[in-house]
Homo-oligomer: A and B are copies of this chain.
Amino acid sequence: MRKSYPFGSRATMSETVLSQAALNQATDSHEEPKTLVEGAYQRLRRDIIEGVHAPGEKLRVEHLKEHYDVGAGTLREALLLLVTDALVVAQGQRGFRVAPISIADFEDITRTRVLLETEALRQSIASGGEDWEAAVVAAFHRLSRAEQRLADHDVGTTEEWESRNRAFHEALISASSSRWIRHFQHILYQQSERYRRISLFRQPIARDIHAEHQALFEATMARDATRATSILTEHILRTLDAVKRMPADFFTSKSKR
């Protein structure tokens, strides 16, 4: 049997922290769910991000447990896990609710993302090694292929594009020395993904997006932190404009009592 704890071994401090996942939420995306709670958590998260459960909507355990096919307690735990991602809010004796949305919130998310992601990119560029470079190259390649396919109107690949876009952005900052920034970035990215999907402004992913990615990629590989962060900032902020052009009453709540 193996020692399962982080201390007392010979590992250096940084290894100690790096090796164990202090900042993991229970299940990080595409991993195999080891437990019913995690399974329900993953499915619920997907449904919320994709808008199956609308913002502000009440999440009644009694109803949901059927659909997700787990017990009431199990579903409650999954809901609690989603509070970590700020996709669900829990209120005292009044159950759970999908986190509401608003333009102001999206603007906040976007600007905070810029703050964190540019800093993380700066750190990556400063201290990233060959492994990081290789990962960025690979992620960019995969993303480029997907964007090319999209441009050629091979449908059914927008799902794929979103996944690879996330992977690219995460690769860029993967060499950042700050686990906390990456943790917060992950949460914010999830949030913005929800906005992108809910608003139908899933515009057919404009052509110049690829040009932006290309420029971002090149500046990064050239280790030009100033230029890279500048491009990244513009890149992120652009999605904000799109939302601001939405009909003004689009986000005004709803929810049932």
Contacts and interface: CB of A to CB of B under 8 A. Distances in A.
Interface of A: 2-14, 16-17, 20-26, 34-35, 38, 51, 53-57, 73, 76-77, 80-81, 83-84, 86, 89-94, 97, 99-105, 108-109, 111-112, 115-116, 119, 177-181, 183-184, 188, 249-257
Interface centre among A6, A53, A180 (most CB of B within 10 A): A6
28 contacts: A4-B256, A5-B254, A5-B255, A6-B101, A6-B251, A7-B100, A7-B251, A7-B255, A8-B254, A9-B253, A14-B104, A16-B102, A16-B252, A16-B253, A17-B104, A20-B89, A22-B100, A26-B83, A34-B92, A73-B73, A81-B83, A108-B177, A108-B178, A112-B178, A112-B184, A115-B115, A115-B181, A180-B188
A165 B30 CA distance: 41
Contacts of A91: 21
